[in-house]
Amino acid sequence: MPNEADGFDLKLMRKPVIAGNWKMYKTVGDSVATAVALKPLVANANHCEVVIAPVFTALKSVADRLEGSNVHVAGQDCATEVSEGAFTGEVAAFMLADAGCSHVIVGHSERRQYFLETDPIVSKKVQAGIAAGLMVIMCVGETLDQRDQGKAQSVVSEQLVGGLSGLTASDLDRIIVAYEPVWAIGTGRTATPEQAQEMHAFIRRVFAERHSPGAADALRILYGGSVKPDNIAGLMKQADIDGALVGGASLKAESFAEIVNYNK
Ligand code: PGA
């Protein structure tokens, strides 16, 4: 059995990821201005990967302005279809890559809740992202009701297994998992570092059983849900928390930079 010290040794092998999810906020002009303001504030952040996810319409302009910097750009969603076709309103993963994205977020709880995305849909999007050469940030997380009913682990495990079905061993290093308890998103109610750690360790165990212990040791698992400059350090001290997916506090360059620079 690995002991706690081993857990921290393994953590050192995983490069943390701090990702900002801008949701449906900001015009192209506002997105570019925030990205340009962020760039110098995180230029020395070599300890982690920095990612921002603007709205679709702003991706190309933001990516162009960030070219050559350490700030990566992500789409907030992608189509289930891999190739182009007659799918009004959809954007294919390869089009995100073409616009300058290196990452894509899939299966966010707002997509699951308001746009009825199921695990089979999320799974197709994961595969489309991988086929386009993107890093895929797949979100999982239980609602408050599910937690109160003692179903948090079974819900998360089902989302994890369902969303990642059909992947080959070589796909796994393109996957990042974000654990975002729905009751903590945008509510100001963060999971405690201990609650988050417990679920992250569980996710890593499920991933190890499903795929391999080696792949599980290498998997980055981000926490999301009311992450702020004043709670990031406590979360990052946990053995299985490898970064954060940040909503509200990523909209301002200064507060997002404080989160990125949690080690300062
Ligand atoms: P929040 O959002 O930080 O505003 O809670 C997180 C998310 O939805 O990714």
Q: Per-residue pLDDT tens for 115-136?
A: 999 999 999 999 999 999 999 9
> Does the pLDDT at position 257 exceed 80?
yes
Closest CA to 138 of 103, 166, 168, 113: 103
Rounded Cα distance, 179 and 219, in Å: 13
Ranking 105-119, 169-183, 185-199, 215-229 by mean pLDDT, the lowest is: 185-199
Burial 109-137 (b: 16+ CB within 10 A, else e): bbbbeeeebebebbbbbbbbbbebebbbb
In tens, the pLDDT along 20-53 reads 999 999 999 999 999 999 999 999 999 999 999 9
Residue tagged active-site, from 72, 103, 108, 211: 108
Per-residue model confidence as pLDDT tens digits over 48-81: 999 999 999 999 999 999 999 999 999 999 999 9
Over residues 141-166, the pLDDT tens digits come to 999 999 999 999 999 999 999 999 98
pLDDT confidence of residue 188: 81
The amino acid that residue 149 corresponds to is: Q
| 246 CA closest ligand 1 atom index | 3
Residue 245 alpha carbon, nearest atom of ligand 1: 9
Q: Does residue 180 have an active-site annotation? A: yes
pLDDT of residue 3: 54
Give the pLDDT score at 5.
Answer: 63
Instruction: Give Dmax over CA atoms of the chain in angstroms.
Output: 53
Pairing relation of β-strands 17-21 and 243-246? parallel
At 1 the pLDDT is: 47
Q: Residue 9 has what pLDDT?
A: 86
CA–CA gap between residue 100 and residue 62 (Å, rounded): 9
In the chain, % of residues over pLDDT 70: 98
Residue 224 has a CB neighbour count (10 Å cut-off) of 27
Pocket of ligand 1 contains residue 185 by CB under 6 Å: yes
* Nearest-angstrom CA–CA distance, 40 and 52: 14
Give the phi and the psi of residue 112 in degrees, each rounded to 5. -65, -45
